[in-house]
Structures are given as C-alpha cells and as structure tokens.
Chain A
Amino acid sequence: MILIWMICILLAGGIVSWLVARTSPLLAKWIALLAVTVDLLITCWLFSVYQAFPDNTSWYINHQANWIPALGISFHVAMDGFSHVLLLLTFFLGILAVLCSWKEIKEKTGFYFFNLLWTLAGISGVFVAMDMILFYFCWEIMLIPMYFLIILWGDARRRYAGYKFFIFTQVGSLLMLLSILALYFIHGDQTGKYTFDYFSLLHTTMVPGVAKWIMLGFLIAFAIKLPVVPFHNWLPDAHGEAPTAGSLVLAGLLLKTGAYGIIRFVLPLFPESAVDIAPIMILFGVAGIIYGALLAFSQTDLKRLIAYTSVSHMGFVLVGVFSFNNIAMQGVVMQILTHGLSTGALFVMAGMLKERLHTRDIDRMGGMWTSMSGMGGIAILFTMASAGLPALGNFIAEFFVLLGAFVNYPVFSIIATLGLILSAIYSLRMLQKVFMGQQHFTEPVKDISARELVIMAALSISIVALGLFPQPVINTVQHLSTIHPLLHE
C-alpha cells in the first residue's frame, strides 16, 4: 500500500504545485521539493526496514488490488531489493531535478513541476508495477510529461527532439504491447486463467520459436529505451535539447527503465530465448560501447557529448545482463545507479555552464577552471567517474560487468574493455575543452552557488560512497541471481 501512496504523493504534489503556481511560483517549487523528499524519506526508511530482514522473501512489499478483473488486469505493485534501489535513485535524482530547476525555470513554473513530478511518478510506477498492463501504463505515462518538458522548456531544436523521443519510444512500446498480449493469451490458453499478473506469467511455457518473437517485442522496447546502438538516435537529441532537469531525469532514470525491463521481464520470462540471443545482444552492447564512445569524442555540443557517453555506458548494461554471470549482474545494477549519478551530474553541470555562458558549444568554452575552480574540481570528479576511475562507483560497475562477462565471453569483454580507453579519451577532451586552455569569455563568470553546491555535493558524496562502500547495494540485489537459472552458477 505504501508504494501506491508514494506514487500518489508525486501525482498529488504535481497537481497541487500546478494549481498553486498561479499565486506563488515559489510555493510550487517547495511543494514539489517536499513531495519528492517525503518519498525519498519513505524509501530510505523502508531500506532500513528491509536491511533488518534481509533473509525474508525478496518481495517484501506486495500489494494487489482489483482493477479490470474482466481482463485479468490488477493493480499489483511489489518491491524487491532491485526495485528498491531504483526507487532510491529515482527519488534522489528527483530531488536534485527539482533543485536544479529552481532558478532555470522562469516560465510556467507550475506546469513544469507538474510534468516533472508526473514523470517521476511514472518512473517509480515502472519500477514497482507487477502487472504487465500497469507496467505498460506507467511506461507510457512517464513519456508524456517528459515530452512536455522537452518541447516546452527545451532548447532551439526541442520540437524535433520531442518528436524523435516520443516516436522512437512509442514504436518499442507498441511492439511490447503486442508481446504482452501474446504472452497473455498463450498463458491464458494454457492454464485457462487469463491474467496479466507478472508472477503468474512467469510460469508460462512457450514453444521456443514463439517465445523468441515475443521476447523480441519486449527486447526492442527496452533496447530503444536503454538505448542499444542502432536505436539510440533519439537520445542525443532528447538529452541535448531537454532542460537540465529533463536531461537529468532522462539520463539518470528513463534509460534505467530499459535496463530494469530487460532484467525484470526479458530474463525471467524467456530464460531459454534470452540465452539464445545473448551473443547477439552482447555484440550490440559492445558495439554500443565503442560506437557511443567514438561519437562522444567528436561532438562539440556538450550535452550531446554527454548523451553519447550514456550510449556507451549503457552498452555495459547490455553486456552485463546477457553474459549471464552473477557478478556481471551486480555490476549492471551498480552501473544503473552510478551512471545515473555521474551522467546526471554531468548534465547538471552542462546546465550550469549553459546558464552562465548561454552556449553548449564546447569550442566556445575553455579556461573555465580559472573562474570556476569549484566546478572544475567537481567536473574532474565526474568525468573521471565516467571514465571509470576506481574509488568511484562507475569503476565497481564496469569492473564487475567486464569481469563477469570475461568468464563467459572473453573476446567481447576485451573489446568492451577497450571502451575504457575511449572513455578516457572523450572524457579528457571534454574536460580540456571546457575547463582548460585560455578563457574565452571576458565577462566574469560566477563560480558554483550554494544551491548548486548542495546538488553537486550530494552527487559527489554518493558516487564516492558507491565506489568505496558498494556492499549494501550488492547485498540488496543479491537475490537477482535467482531470476535466471544460469545465474545460480
């Protein structure tokens, strides 16, 4: 029940802040902040509760209510450690998203926060929905407010980016819907019980040929969201044009829903087919790592550059998931978390730079370290995180993924490891173009403000903490080894 309340708090917070904004935009901001903070506190509290009983069933919150009984659709939400970790990330980044919009958004504040909170609600819904249709609902609901965030508060090419974002994801969604339906009917025809419930559908036996096609439907949807390389084109545009909080949420959370979907649905629902397709998916993952890195290197638009690094990093997720190795799976979860933090931080930083310099073109920046020494230091921290420097969370993630993948797919793993070199190259280029060299701008640029410092400090502390003390996360998602027979070892 508490899960529903958490989502409702966001939904209600969104509506209230929209209504309130007409009279006082400031109050709207505070309401939005409050709503997300309350959710984060609840999730933290649940985390401590969960840590106290780690040996209980992995689904420690499970709530089901009728919705459309005629079709076997129920309002089923449940949470295990994996969902929990993702919820923590969602609300944490949610708070930061509200904070980093504080000054940036000057028009239509209420509607902005409405959209932001509803996106977060959709995302958290995705992470806890255990009914396929409910999942699909949440999956879609997070898109529309996100779309508005892009087209209303985005940059010059926001409409193009908006269309691209929406249409790309929609192709995947609809194919996934077809797959969900096919699964539903196969399961129903077999057992006579027509239901969209995740736990019931888990025990569906399918003819391999059919299972392959159904899985493909799911996989394409998640691959587009992740994104996997041939389907990644929406991402640089959407990330580039979205407002800062939009990019933060896109990179930090929306992409993660794709990873979540693959782990939660593709692997357990189609254990055999997933194994069959694994080499191809790993190939895609490796291609993504390299291709994304090469593109990231050549970009001159700071946000597009960061966006392509996301493409590269998400390749690790794919490699990790499909190498069917428990260590790699833990690495994937770490990658989900740490990429959310590090790339989110880079986007926030890009937003701050844009606010000051009114450009995203790194050729027009340079020498910012002189006037923004604080931000320079933080930038180094996060570019290094993105380059996979040990002691920062991303290293643990990439190390686990590559190590795990190496056991089963040594060649792919080695090629993926070359991505580390490329990541160093593009990270350094970014750092150099923005912060080093002679300063181009003559007017004085303010260093990081107190509010920005809070955002960046929170992110920095988390990324370092994840790098040095990853064990709580690993313990929390230890049960992921049960989702697929090959992960038991």
Chain B
Amino acid sequence: MQHYLYLIPALPLLGFLVLSMAGKRLSRNLIAGIGAGSICVSALIALITSASFLQSPPATGAYRQVLWHWFVTGHLSADVSLRMDALSLVFICIITFIGALIHIYSIAFMREDRDYARFFASMNLFVCAMLTLVMADNLVLMYLGWEGVGLCSYLLIGFWYETPANYRAANKAFVITRIGDTAMIIGLFLLFKELGTLYIPDILAKAPQQFSSGAHTITLIALLLLSGGIGKSAQLPLQTWLPDAMAGPSPVSALIHAATMVTAGVYLIARMHTLFELSPIAMQVTAIIGAVTLFIAGCSAMVQTDIKRILAYSTISQIGYMFLALGVGAWSAAIFHFFTHAFFKALLFLAAGAVIETLHHEHDIFKMGGLRKKMPVIFYTFTIGAAALAALPLVTAGFFSKDQILWYAWSANGGHPVLWALALMGAFITAFYSTRLILVVFWGEMKTTPGHLPGNAMTIPLVILAFFSVAVGWIEWPHNIMHVSLFSELVQQALPTTIMKGDLPHEIVFQFIAVVVSLLGIYTGYVLYYGQSELLMRWKQSDGLMNVRHFLYKGWKFDQLYDMLLVRPFMFITGINKSDVSDKLYTAIANANLYLNRIFSVSQNGSLRWYVTGVLIGILFIITLQLLL
C-alpha cells in the first residue's frame, strides 16, 4: 500500500495545477468536480492506506516512500519522501476526510463566487501542503509544507482581496506566522549543527545520545521549534492573527483556521516529542503557554459579537488545551483533542457559514436570533457542535478529550494544580460562551429575515460532521469508566505514553469537578442570556465592567501593544529612510565636486594679469618647496 502514498498529496496538487492553469476555461461543474473530486479520491486513498496500516502495521512502524532525492551536499541531504506512521495517520485522515467534506460543502457555498476556480485551486494546494507537512520525513520537506500552508492561508484569508480588511488580515496572518517560522528554521539550523541531520527518525534517535536531559542547546532547539508551533497554532504571544483571519470564506475558516493548519504546531511538537522530553523547561513553557492562552482566548471569546470571531477565539483556546496537554506530557490526549476538535470546530464553522450566508452576510450574533425554527438542520448540527465544544458529558466527543487533558493537567508528570485550575476555568468559560452562542443565535426573536436556505450539498457534510462530533469520543473512554482506548493505543505506536505522578486522588473526583464546571458554565450562560437577562443589562451600566469587556473584546489589546512596540517603530524607520540616507553621502560628494568646479571656474576669468599671477604662484610654490626640502 505504501507505493500509493504519494497519491495522497499528489492528487490535490494535480487539482491545483489544473485549476490554476486552466481554471478560466472550465465550467463551474468541472471546477467543482476537479476541486472536490481530487480531495475525495485522496481521502479515499488515505482511508484505504490507513486501514491497511491498522490491519498490518509495518515492522518499522511507518510506511515510507522516497519520491526523489531533493538535494545532497556535504552532510546535508533531504529527500522528497513521505512517511506515514500512527501520528501522521491521524492527521492525514483528518485532513483528507474533513477536507473532503468541506470541499463538498464549498461547492454549494462558493457557487456564486466569481473566482470559483481560484478558490478550489487554493484549497487543493492547501490540502497538498498540509499533507506534505504531516507526511514529510525530514524537517526541510516539513518546512516546505509548513510554509506552503502559510501561503495558502494567506491566499484564502485574502480571497476577497478587494476589501482592505481582508488583505490586511491576510498580510497579518502571513507575517506573524512567518515570525514563528523563522524561529523554527533557526531551530532547524541549530539541530543540523548539533546532530548533522534533518531526517526526523534520525533526529529522534540521535538526540537522546547527543544531549543530556535539560541541556541548554536542546532547550534552545525545543523552544525555537515551539516558537514555530506557536506562530502557526496562534498561541500566546503570536495569537493575534487568527481572529482577523476570519475574513476568509467560512469553509476556509473551517478547514484551515480550525481543523487543520492551526494544529500544525501541535503536530510539530508531537513529532519532535523526543526533543521536548529532553528539555523539561521547554515542556513547562509549552504547558504554561497553552494554559494561559486557553484562558485568555476563552475570555475574549465570551464577549465577542461576531460569530466567527467567537469561534476563532474558541479555536485558540482549544489549541491552548492541546498545548497544555503536550506540555504536561499527555501526548495522546493532545492528539485526541485535536482529533475531536477537528470535527466539532469544522462543524461549527460550516454551520456558522451557513447561518451567515442565509442571513445575507450578517456576522453579528445580536442581529441574528430565532433561527431555531427557520433552519432546523443548521440548528441541530450547530447545537451538537457547540455541545461538543462545551464538553457536554458523555454524549459529545469534546467531553472525552477535554476530560483527559484536565486530568493530565494535574496528574501527569509535568502537571501542576495551577495549570489544572486554568484549564478548569477555561472549561467553564467554554461552556458559557457556547451556550451564549446558541441562545443568542437560535433563540429569541428573529432580527434578520433569513434568505435562501442552504441546500443538501451544504447540510449533508454538516450532518456527517455532527455525527462524528458525537461518535468519535466513544473510541477513547476514561479508563476508570470503560476500557476502550482505541485511539491512544494507535497513537502510542508513535508517541510515548504519559508518565504519571505518584499518589494521586481518584480520577473520578476530577471528572466530577469537570462535569460540574461545564454544566455550571452552561447554566450561567442560560441564566444570563435567557433567564435573567436584566442582570446583563445592569452590568452594562457599569463603566468598569464595560472597560473590562472592551479590553477582552479587543483580545487583551495585544494588537495595540504590537502596534506600539513593533509596527509603529518599523513604519517610522522605513518612513524616514524612504529616500535612502546613504544616498546623501554620494550626493554630497557629487555636489562637492560641482562646488569645487564653480570655485575653480572663477580662476578662469579671462584676465591676462591673473593668468600671469598664476605663473607667479607656480614659481613661488616651486621656490618654497625648494626652501623646504
């Protein structure tokens, strides 16, 4: 089966090539067929390959296919070669499967758009790049995919490029992630300098021999790679681009900015887990960043009014959970949360896209309302998604994955009560804003009349995603409840098992607390937005609270901070040096010559007597020299 591995990324690439070159001349149906078809076939191949992988795992633990030798010079070599082990398998399946659903959804969603072909071309390229990222067996190729998804994200955020806000958001996303990428590539340099290879299995094998645990170099490498992950996964302090990235079409937000690309950082850290394990500091930093991010982003999500920004902040927050899990060493829990999150967040975005589309591009949730009856399919699927996000116990996938993380945040080797407390607060907040979202959008009175309702092409993917948002949780149960751990068994082929602390309280206590907290969150949301909304009214009178609200609304004012610290100085420097200071020097030399020319020209005044004086000066000069020497 591994001989067909290359088809998984190659088909989307082919789709991209065809669409980008001939897109203008193809009919809309053909474009949709190529765009979505290539991904669907790719997904099919991915599923078959995975099935074969699961049935008979290869001896090496991975399928590998070398396509061609990319470059070899000295010790540095990199191949264009694909690798599929348990970890990448999860990612590949998610990318292709959810990607296929979103493509199908987009066929209808983007139908009226002028640049239909460009949309599918970019989406296909994105899938190809994302697959390259997760299938790469060396870091250079991985970086190729890494940057490739960045480019596609840029292209798709700025898809409607005529609106300034859109292309600004696109630029912002690209530049901020580039900052992380640059740190990451420096990490690559350092890795190469230390280990002399960039082939991932080699690195993982060599690193423990080369570095002692906690060595400075390995910490530095891990932190640099972490920075790359932070940039891509929109974690603190590089999280500011993601809310703005919602300028892109909703399927883009669903695929790129929720399900797949933003979790690339999670993948990177999980992939390079050996390096992180060698550096307790880097692990701690990862955990702290995750915990703080999930809290901060959650707070912002509570007060947003744009439906997509709410979801964006929630994405940041959920990836924060994953980082937290990675940081405490709960590898499979992080990947499991990625797995479940991909389904319900994609679902939420697609459903939100459908709502927005139906309400004539209305983003403000307070201008929605009462849609429960009008669009039931959307309502139910959206509710399932939101419930999963809020981690409604036992019936949603989100519960199972988040519960694990909460448990490990305390109990894993790297865990800490503070991390757990932050994660718990996050869970409360998540439940609260999920409830707020549902109540405001679907209950209450109708403020905007819905237009044309979405058709089957859009609702069927929603239904499928909704099904998975519920069902995928059941493959991995908390082991004190039921011994089903299909997922962690798979993932642990590639990732180490979580090391636990000694003498812990009963897990059931934590589960109970988690359940109570999420329910409490849901109840609070219900009280504030359905039951006792006058309480909210009273709060709105208070200036202090409104200031806090504004602060949170602006995403803790990180944008303003960066604007002041980085953007303005940069603009200032480039602004004053627009005409190139060094040019002045040369202009000055030229002017000095011209000035001298004018001075000397005065001597050519035509006066014979002055000319005679010139001769006299000459002879005097000669005599002086003679006297001096």
Contacts and interface: CB of A to CB of B under 8 A. Distances in A.
Q: Assess A/B contact in the complex (Cβ within 8 A).
A: yes
B118 interface: yes
A330 B73 contact: yes
Contact of B162 (A380, A400, A410, A437): A437
A474 B72 CA distance: 8
A468 B80 contact: yes
A229 interface: yes
Interface stretch (B39-47, B171-179, B303-311): B171-179
B582 A420 contact: no
A396 B574 CA distance: 28
A45 to B, nearest CB: 25
Interface in B153-189: 154-155, 158, 161-162, 164, 167, 170-171, 174-175, 178-179, 181-182, 185-186, 188-189
A114 interface: no
Contacts of B606: none
A432 B167 contact: yes
Interface stretch (B141-149, B545-553, B616-624): B141-149
Contacts of A389: 147-148, 151
B167 A421 contact: no
Contacts of A403: 76, 188-189, 192
Given A233-B582, A297-B574, A436-B167, A420 B161 contact: no
A342 interface: no
B179 A399 contact: no
A428 B147 contact: no
B600 interface: no
Interface stretch (A69-77, A102-110, A258-266, A369-377): A369-377
B182 A421 contact: yes
B113 interface: no
B583 interface: yes
A195 interface: no
Given A233-B580, A425-B175, A377 B192 contact: no
Contacts of B143: 390
B71 A471 contact: yes
B213 interface: no
A428 B575 contact: no
Nearest to A389: B147
Interface in A377-435: 377, 380, 384, 389-391, 395-396, 399-400, 402-403, 406-407, 410, 413-414, 417-418, 420-421, 424-425, 428-429, 432, 435
A413 B178 contact: no
Given A295-B577, A407-B193, A436 B158 contact: yes
Contact of A298 (B69, B76, B577): B577
A448 B582 CA distance: 38
Interface in A265-306: 294-295, 297-299
B473 to A, nearest CB: 37
A478 interface: yes
A473 B417 CA distance: 56
A295 B574 contact: yes
**Which of B115, B161, B181: most chain A Cβ within 10 A?**
B161
A327 B73 contact: yes
A43 interface: no
Size category of the B interface is: 35 or more
Contacts of A294: 573-574, 577
A485 to B, nearest CB: 16
B140 interface: yes
Contacts of A380: 155
B274 interface: no
A63 B92 CA distance: 57
Contacts, number: 128
Contact of A474 (B71, B179, B585): B71
A333 B24 CA distance: 37
A64 interface: no
A388 B599 CA distance: 51
Contacts of B164: 437
Contact of B147 (A327, A390, A418): A390
Interface string B577-604: 1101011011000000000000000000
Nearest to B143: A390
A52 B217 CA distance: 44
A217 B190 CA distance: 36
Contact of A369 (B147, B161, B171, B570): B161
A367 interface: yes
B20 interface: yes
Contacts of B181: 420
B403 to A, nearest CB: 39
Contacts of B147: 389-390, 395
Given A233-B580, A236-B580, A417 B182 contact: yes
B175 A424 contact: yes
A135 to B, nearest CB: 27
A377 B585 CA distance: 40
A437 B182 contact: no
A358 to B, nearest CB: 23
A219 B178 CA distance: 34
A326 interface: yes
A443 interface: no
Given A295-B580, A298-B578, A478 B73 contact: yes
Nearest to A407: B193
Nearest to A300: B578
Interface in A328-386: 330, 367, 369-370, 373, 377, 380, 384
Contact of A326 (B73, B175, B570, B585): B73
A369 B188 CA distance: 36
B575 A298 contact: yes
Given A367-B162, A406-B189, A474-B71, A424 B574 contact: no
Given A390-B147, A403-B189, A417-B182, A233 B158 contact: no
Contacts of A390: 140, 143-144, 146-148
Contacts of B185: 399, 402, 417, 420
Interface in A461-489: 468-471, 474, 478, 489
Contacts of A478: 73
A438 interface: yes
A400 B75 CA distance: 12
A208 B377 CA distance: 83
17 contacts: A230-B582, A233-B582, A233-B583, A294-B574, A295-B577, A295-B578, A298-B577, A370-B162, A377-B20, A389-B148, A400-B73, A410-B190, A410-B193, A418-B182, A421-B178, A424-B174, A437-B167
Q: Which 10 A-B pairs have the closest CB atoms?
A: A390-B144, A298-B574, A406-B189, A436-B161, A298-B578, A436-B167, A424-B178, A428-B171, A297-B574, A330-B73
Given A403-B189, A421-B182, 11 more contacts: A233-B586, A373-B118, A390-B146, A390-B148, A391-B144, A399-B140, A406-B190, A420-B178, A420-B185, A421-B175, A428-B175
